[in-house]
Amino acid sequence: MYNFCTLFDSNYLTRGLALHESLRKQCESFHLYIFAFDENCREVLNSLLQSGELKNCTIISLKEFEDEKLLNIKPTRSIAEYCWTSTSSTILYVLNNFKVDSCTYLDADLYFYSSPKIIFDEMGEKSILLTEHRYSPQYNKEIKSGLYCVQFVTFKNNSEGRTALEWWRERCLEWCYNRYEEGKFGDQLYLDDWTERFPGVHVLENRGGGLAAWNVQQYLFGESNGIITADYPSGDSVFTPVFYHFHYLRFLSGGKVELGRRFLSQSVLSIFYIPYIKRLIHFTRKIELIDGTIDPNGTKDGERNLKSMLLFVYRKARKTYNIFDLHKLISN
């Protein structure tokens, strides 16, 4: 049994449901603890749970989850910063309240393409598992964003795992903001020295865990009979994608979708993005039948973020964004 946790609000509902769908497809036995970060999100998830469409899940409300320390710092953080601050606390909550042997935090915008068993087999008897960004050279942001990505991080419920997890929670309560400051950025840069700071830490070697827009330029992808493979341009090494991190996918008004600033090949678009976007559209329709008043893809937030980022791009003379007509993209 694999125990996972994730957190999201109404703006990420479709992504959270897609994550759950991929786990059901790829995991023989799992349980997903979902921390619903607003009441509309909780109500939709509970409706799907009661109807039997959401399986192997426990829904946890903010009222159940938030403790005094989190509530004290909440007014000092933006919505995104509060989510980052809370990540370590969600893992600790699961370990404390459900007495599981281990818990793996997943970003809600992950999608699995094969079983994570290969990841946990590689982790073995170690107590903590980290995944690297593995940036493509042209997009390397290790100095400001860190060696490791919080996207998939595992802690066993033992002294080694809990010591590191509790230390991380305390640091995030002290400082967790969306800016680089004195060697800190959000919740991520705290992880950079863990292989020296804590015993029992394993850094994932399998490159199938942690594909994302910031590293896919290094690989060639193919698909045959529903099986996706990846290799280096030299052809020396072939691996199977385990999960893809769809960071910075934003729906915009006017039937547009934005996929960020990094180069994405046609094979990456065809194999990963287009099928994923179709699943998000599927879940959008399902959610609208339950509650037509919410914005399950965060379109309004996407518009606000795009305006601020385009101004930044204009000022810095950086590359334009990957903005596509949604209908044309998914029709290809």
pLDDT in the model for residue 322: 85
Contact between residue 239 and residue 230 where contact means Cβ atoms under 8 Å apart? yes
Percent of the chain with pLDDT over 70: 92
pLDDT in the model for residue 314: 39
Average pLDDT for the chain: 92
Q: CA 51 to CA 4: how far, in whole Å?
A: 22
**pLDDT (tens digit per residue) in 275-320:** 999 999 999 999 999 998 888 887 766 444 444 444 434 334 345 5
Which range, of 56-70, 196-210, 255-269, averages the lowest pLDDT?
255-269
pLDDT in the model for residue 235: 67
**pLDDT (tens digit per residue) in 143-164:** 999 999 999 999 999 999 999 9
pLDDT in the model for residue 330: 83
Domain total of the chain? 1
Q: What is the 3-state secondary structure (H, E, C) of 210-222?
A: EEECCCHHHCEEE
pLDDT in the model for residue 253: 83
pTM given for the model: 0.93
In terms of residues, how long is the chain? 332
Contact between residue 293 and residue 10 where contact means Cβ atoms under 8 Å apart? no
Give the residue numbers spanning the domain of 44: 2-331
The CATH number of the domain holding residue 43 is 3.90.550.10
Best CA proximity match to 296, nearest among 3, 8, 13: 13
**pLDDT (tens digit per residue) in 167-219:** 999 999 999 999 999 999 999 999 999 999 999 999 999 999 999 999 999 99
Residue type, 30: F
What contacts 54, CB < 8 A, 6 or more positions away?
17, 20, 45, 48
